[in-house]
Amino acid sequence: MAKATSLAHVASPGLHRRVLCLTALAAGLWLAAQATAARAVTVPVTIAPANPTVDNSYPFGIGVTNQWPPHMGFVYQDIPAFQLNTGDVLAFDTAAFNDVDVQLQIELAATTSNGGDAPALPFTTVVTNTQTPVNPRGDTTVGNFEMQFKAQAPFSFPGGGLIIRFSNPSAAYAMDTHGDFDLVAAMSDDPSGKFVERYTSDADGLPPYTNPGTAFIGGFQVRPPDVVPGSQLTTKRKCRKRKHRAASAKKRCKKKR
């Protein structure tokens, strides 16, 4: 008696080949996506005043609780989209030395409208007050964004309005009662068009804000950790020797971005 041959059995060689091909394709796409993600870096974003002033100590020149705490914030508009990855740098610019290491909590939020000051909640805490930044007391150079905090959590910003909120100075920084006028800042009418508002001494860091104003809005920079402070991505040159028939080896440089 002949054995019945199932349709699945007859079709299985071709079906197996198709499954293998689809599996290989899916694996290839997944690996490509992972490779792309691994190569992705934060594009440096620098928001610097066109007409900088150095006339204020909030929040990097004084930490005592009866000054800018419990919360203060800088509000911006027309900020390009960026991805702040864990380990990337969020940097600020000072032009005078503080007398105590700056340690505070930093949070980020997009605004509900570009140019508005209402956050699209919740805020993302990207720096805690246990972190000591690079150059924790600042320096005297304008434009180098030397006070470098390392992001402890990622933050994806779609572009438009942004709030950087500061709070919770560390115990040591909260003892800093001497105001050092160190912040490199802008007015809201700065020609860059990026600076909207600053608020200080707010109880919960949410609107309506206490002491809103249009002066002393600090700039900032977001960048990968291997980018030179104060710069955009730079063009690097890589040289290699190429031998010609009878000539000696000569160096040829090739631009590498």
Q: How far apart are CA 154 and CA 64, in angstroms?
A: 29
Give φ, ψ of 67 to 5 degrees: -105, -110
Residue 185 bridge partners (DSSP): 53, 218
Q: pLDDT tens for residues 80-96?
A: 999 999 999 999 999 99
226 CB-near residues (< 8 Å, 6+ apart): none
Q: Helix H segments across 40-85? A: none
> How far, CA to CA in Å, does 16 sit from each of 11, 51, 54, 191?
9, 68, 70, 65
CB atoms within 10 A of CB 222: 27
Residue 127 has pLDDT above 60, yes or no: yes
Mean pLDDT, residues 64-70: 96
Domain locations along the chain: 45-223
pLDDT tens digits for 147-189? 999 999 999 999 999 999 999 999 999 999 999 999 999 999 9
pLDDT of residue 30: 40
Higher pLDDT, 34 or 171: 171
- Read off the pLDDT of each residue in 98-106 and give the average, rounded to a whole number: 98
